[in-house]
Amino acid sequence: MAMRDFVLDESTTGKDLFDRLSEQENSCLQEALGEAVYEFMLDMQLMAGGGDASAAAPLFGCLAEENVVLLAVAFLSVTVGGHGDESRMCITDLALEHPGLIYARIGLEWTGEDTYQQAETVDILQGFYDCMAESEKAASLKNLYAAIDAASSLTGEDLVSLLPESEATCVRDALSEGEYEALLSATPLRAAGLGAGAAECLSLDSVAAFFVSASDAGIGGLSDESAACIDGFVRANPAFVPVFASYLGDDSSPFSAAEFIEVAQGGLEVFECLNEDETGRIDEFMAAVFG
């Protein structure tokens, strides 16, 4: 378990990592990388690749399964600004229980035995949330929803086109020219955040239609039953879209991290609306919570 307390930061070099690996793993790395590259990496800062786990892809093939998971967790921790010692230990234990999720998150094929059923994904992710401090939860949830949003084929312009003419005109008049142009070209949830100043222009019908359309595009298609379920969720939780869209769309959101966490975690109920096929398509985005 030499890798269990491995923490990645700006000063971490290849030597810091290699010293924790077994002789067999180091021999594999020397052969895979070549002696010259291996020697070069000893003094190279591992964060030179920007903290992206994919930058370490050549390393993972030589590591024991447990060390793949531990190194991946260290890289993923960087994307939320790091975890405290208590959070990191808890996350590490849970990651080792479910290595398949971590492999999927970094784009590696998992060939071992599955340790969970697809329907249990939300419960497992809730366990990861419970490991984290409040600020860490906010960063992870923000990454999850931003990843889903980024996959959408829609823009703010597509969503404005869904509005009744009176509401569309109200939105256009409520924003400055620059704000409105930014909204039109943004991804759906970011567009909603950028348009927070025009929130009073929208009816609940429009907010629900907006979120269902954005979900349909982000997930890659919804069944009528799933769409109706998501529509019902938004109507029952009218603060959901404004709070987390504002937090995603503007770093100066008026909502606190605690408010965002409460709303966004409640929003995981949306995933319970999805059928098995839809859940399968979104699983990779669910795994993004580890970032």
| pLDDT, tens digit (0-9, with 9 covering 90-100), for 196-255 | 788 889 999 998 998 898 888 877 889 999 999 999 999 998 878 777 777 666 555 666
In a domain, residue 24? The reply is yes
Q: How many domains does the chain have?
A: 2
Average pLDDT over residues 174-179: 92
Q: How confident is the model at residue 174 (pLDDT cuts 50, 70, 90)?
A: very high
Say yes or no: 166 and 264 in one domain. yes
Domain boundary among 77, 98, 115: 115
In a domain, residue 127? The reply is no
Residues shown for the chain: 291
Say yes or no: 154 and 273 in one domain. yes
Let me know: does 63 contact 22? Beta carbons within 8 Å: no
Say yes or no: 74 and 163 in one domain. no
Say yes or no: 105 and 149 in one domain. no
pTM of the model: 0.60
In a domain, residue 5? The reply is no
85 beta partners: none
In a domain, residue 9? The reply is no
Say yes or no: 269 and 151 in one domain. yes
pLDDT above 70: percentage of residues in the chain? 85
Taking each helix axis from N to C end, the angle separating 177-185 and 165-174, rounded to the nearest 10 degrees, works out to 120
Q: What is the pLDDT of residues 3-62, one digit of tens each?
A: 888 988 888 999 999 999 999 999 999 999 899 999 999 999 888 766 566 667 778 889
Say yes or no: 197 and 283 in one domain. yes
Query: What range defines the domain where residue 258 resides?
Result: 142-290
Say yes or no: 268 and 175 in one domain. yes
Indicate the average pLDDT of the chain.
82
In a domain, residue 174? The reply is yes
In a domain, residue 6? The reply is no
Least confident of 33-47, 59-73, 127-141: 127-141
Average pLDDT over residues 68-96: 86
The SS3 assignment for 174 reads: helix
In a domain, residue 149? The reply is yes
Q: Which position has the higher pLDDT, 289 or 101?
A: 101
Say yes or no: 152 and 230 in one domain. yes
